[in-house]
Chains A and B, each alone.
Chain A
């Protein structure tokens, strides 16, 4: 029976991780769905929907040898995998300002209260070590409209954080 798993791999970044891991998965008879892979603070993180005719133990057998070789930590969850279920975002929110603890909690708290469902979020720390800046990019579905978000975010803006809310109007041509 064909099953979906969420496979997470994390370890020190090194050249060739993606090629070696996905090659092992392919040779082991599995098939990839949607994935997200990114270098975060010197670590390489992989999150993959993996389809396999087999159990979670079978997937461990496929992936563990290469994970050991590359010194990657493995985590596997059985999931209800569904492809072709994309939700189209209607809003893009960008946030940036001097880094401090609590920016994400504050901004996303306001957004959640104003009816935004986050579909995608990436954030990063730039600037210099003594003056770091925080940058966050989100796409989501504003269920109560864009203006509700803009109004609610005024409180965040007043604290010196730059917030830009832009409507995403997808053109299907």
Chain B
């Protein structure tokens, strides 16, 4: 199966706010399969959001299970995801298939809890931390029309901010 075309910044459509999925049908499941193929074909390939392929609905896939030595939930199909709890902050490096050849530092919650529906409309709950939590937040941002470029932080500040957190 071939990959879907990834929208690239400065395509204005990446700023569009997406809407919730209403029908959990075969068309949705078929799209999710294509979305996953597209994610795995990309560099890194740990996450993708439907707006990146010009489908403006609340659909995200995150799978960081190929990274060694980290906690993860396997392949997460997240339809209409909602983050319900945030805890801690950490700066990490991010890039995006929609923003080639540029990476930057972004602050994200270290641990999150979220609710979402799977591709069959069954409600699921997840707890994520670290790299996986970062990936989920990065992808959910796409649903709100936000890119990691909207959240860049200075590198110099990293040093001082991190020390402050350690002292908490």
Contacts and interface: CB of A to CB of B under 8 A. Distances in A.
Given A84-B101, A86-B102, A171 B134 contact: yes
Q: What's the dominant secondary structure at chain A's contact region? A: strand
Contacts of B62: 173
A173 B102 contact: no
A92 B103 CA distance: 14
Nearest to A89: B93
Contacts of A170: 44, 93-95, 103
Interface stretch (B22-30, B45-53, B109-117): B45-53
Nearest to A85: B101
A122 B94 CA distance: 20
B155 A171 contact: no
Interface string A150-173: 000000000000000000111111
Interface in A10-67: none
Interface size range of chain B in the complex? 20 to 34
Given A86-B102, A122-B155, A137-B159, A173 B138 contact: yes
A171 B156 contact: no
Contacts of B103: 86, 88, 170
A146 interface: no
Contacts of B148: 173
11 contacts: A86-B102, A94-B158, A124-B156, A137-B158, A169-B93, A171-B94, A172-B43, A172-B94, A172-B96, A173-B44, A173-B94
A132 to B, nearest CB: 17
Given A122-B156, A135-B159, A171 B138 contact: yes
Given A84-B101, A86-B102, A173 B156 contact: no
Contacts of A172: 42-46, 94-97
Given A94-B159, A137-B156, A173 B93 contact: no
Nearest to A170: B93
A77 to B, nearest CB: 24
Contacts of A137: 155-156, 158-159
Contacts of A84: 101
A15 to B, nearest CB: 21
Interface string B150-165: 0000011011000000
Contacts of B44: 170-173
B157 to A, nearest CB: 10
B93 A171 contact: yes
A86 B43 CA distance: 15
A139 B105 CA distance: 12
Contact of A86 (B45, B48, B101): B101
A103 to B, nearest CB: 15
A114 to B, nearest CB: 21
A173 B135 contact: yes
Interface string B36-78: 0000001111111100000000000010000100000000000
